[in-house]
Amino acid sequence: MSTPPPAPARQLRLVRLGLSEEYGVPQLLLGAVVILAPVVFLAAMILAGAGFTWWFLVLTPLAAAGAARPESTGHLVLWVLLLVVWVVGVPGPFTWWSVPAALAVAASHTALVLLGGRPMSGDLAADTWPRVRRRLGTVGAITVGVAVLAQLVRSIRVPGQVALAVMALVAVSVWLWWGTRQAGSDAEPEA
C-alpha cells in the first residue's frame, strides 16, 4: 500500500541573525560574500590612493544589514555610494586596482542574485557552484579585457578613449549575443 518508513529525516542546521529568517549554510556563505565585497572594494580603493578609511565603519554595517534582504534598494544605495566615493577619492583616470574592485562587484552581484527571492534555507541546485564559477570566470575575463583595453587606449593617448572603451564593451556584448545564437539553446556564452 505504501513505502516503508524512511530513515529519520536528517537534521538541518540553521542560523538566525537577530530577527532575521533562518539561514542555511550556503545562504550564510553568500551573505558573507555580500558583506565582504564592499570591504574588498574599499580596500582596493584605499590601495588605489583614496584616503577614506573611515568609510569602512559606515558602509560595512550597511552591507551587513542589506545582506539580510537581498532584494532591497539598500544595495543600490550602497553601491551608488561606493562608486561616488571611488570617483571622488581615487585620482583618475585609470588604476589597475579597479580590476579587483570590479571583481568584488561581480561577486557581490552574483551572491545577491543567488540570495534574492529564493528561500533563505535549503540546499542550492546541484549545478549552482560550477555554473557560478564558469560565469564569474567569463565576467572576470571580460573585465580584465576591458581594463587592458582602457589602459592601452590611454597609453596611446587616443582622443575619446572612454567612448572607445564603451564601444569595445558594446562589441563584446554583440559578440556574446552572436555566440549565444550560434551555440544553440543549451550552451551558455563563453568568454
Partner 1 sequence: MTGSTRPTVLPPWRPTAAHFRATLLGVVGAVVAVAMNRPDLLVLITPWLVVTTWAWLRRPQEQVTVSTAVGHGTLREGEATVLRATVTIPDGVDDVVVAVSPSVFMEQDPPLGIRVIGLSEGRPVGDDVSTRRAGAAVVVRSTRWGARSVGPVRCGAWSTWGAFRSGPVDSESQRLVTLPLPAVFTPTAPMPHPEGLVGAYRSQRPGSGSEFDRLRPFQVGDRLRRIHWPVSLRTGTLHVTSTYGDEDSQIVLVVDGTSDLGPREGLDGRPTSLDLTVRAAGAMAEHYLGVGDRVGLRVVGAARVPRVPVGSGRAHLRRVLGSLALIEPATDRDDDGEYAIAGIGAGAVVFVLSPLVDPAMVDVVARLGSRGLTTVVVDTMPEHLWRSENDPYTSLAWRLRRLSRSVDVHRLTSAGIPVVPWRGPQSLDQVLRELTRRARAPRMARR
Using CB under 8 A as the binding rule, the residues of this chain from 23 to 62 that contact partner 1 are 48
Q: How far is the CB of 122 from partner 1 (least distance, A)?
A: 3
Q: How far apart are CA 160 and CA 157, in angstroms?
A: 9
> Under the criterion CB under 8 A, does residue 18 sit at the interface with partner 1?
no
Q: Name beta bridge partners: 16.
A: 22
Dihedral (CA of 120, 125, 129, 133) sign: negative
> Under the criterion CB under 8 A, does residue 121 sit at the interface with partner 1?
yes
In the bound state with partner 1, the residue whose beta carbon lies nearer, of 60 and 138, is 138
Dihedral (CA of 59, 61, 63, 69) sign: negative
CA dihedral 168, 107, 65, 19 (to 10 degrees): 140
User: Can you tell me which of 71, 133, 137, 171 binds partner 1, judged by CB under 8 A?
Assistant: 71
The footprint of partner 1 on residues 145-164 (CB under 8 A) is 146-147, 150-151, 153-154, 161-163
Q: How far is the CB of 130 from partner 1 (least distance, A)?
A: 9
> Under the criterion CB under 8 A, does residue 90 sit at the interface with partner 1?
yes
> Under the criterion CB under 8 A, does residue 81 sit at the interface with partner 1?
no
Burial of 82 (0-12, 13-18, 19+ CB in 10 A): buried
Q: Of the listed pieces 27-35, 55-63, 67-75, which binds partner 1 according to CB under 8 A?
A: 67-75
What residues contact 55, with CB distance under 8 A and at least 6 apart? 42, 85
In the bound state with partner 1, the residue whose beta carbon lies nearer, of 60 and 72, is 72
Q: Of the listed pieces 28-36, 50-58, 66-74, which binds partner 1 according to CB under 8 A?
A: 66-74
The footprint of partner 1 on residues 98-117 (CB under 8 A) is 98-99, 101-103, 105-106, 109, 112-114, 116-117
Q: How far apart are CA 65 and CA 75, in angstroms?
A: 10
C-alpha cell recorded at residue 52: 577614506
C-alpha cell recorded at residue 55: 568609510
> Under the criterion CB under 8 A, does residue 172 sit at the interface with partner 1?
yes
Residue type present at position 14:
L
